[in-house]
Amino acid sequence: MIEKLPIDERHALLAPLITNGWVLHSERDALVKEFKFKNFIDAFGWMTRVAIWAEKWNHHPEWSHAYSCVNVTLTTHDVDGLSDLDLNLACKMDSLFTT
């Protein structure tokens, strides 16, 4: 069962992601980040690699892609906020990102 991140543990759980450029959404319980690539192909290739993990984990990002930038929002709709699924996918996205 998926659960929303506990309030008392959020700071410690989110700190490494915030340090790595993720920010809390101003109006939702969500994480956001913009990934910038050298070109369209690099951005699209990264999205493809992320999509494989998202499908495997059955947790899909909200994202948009324009040329060399990908804007990502992560939240777990089933709990109306952040869960471990979002943390895991954010970490995977960061690990797959190369400039």
- The pTM of the whole model exceeds 0.85: yes
pLDDT over threshold 80, residue 99: no
Residues 6+ apart with CB under 8 A from 64: 70, 71
Three-class SS of residue 51? Answer: helix
C-alpha closest to that of 98 among 43, 28, 33, 54: 43
Name the phi and psi angles at 48, rounded to 5.
-65, -45
Q: Which domains does the chain have, with CATH numbers?
A: 23-96 (3.30.1360.20)
At 41-92, the pLDDT tens digits run: 999 999 999 999 999 999 999 999 999 999 999 999 999 999 999 999 999 9
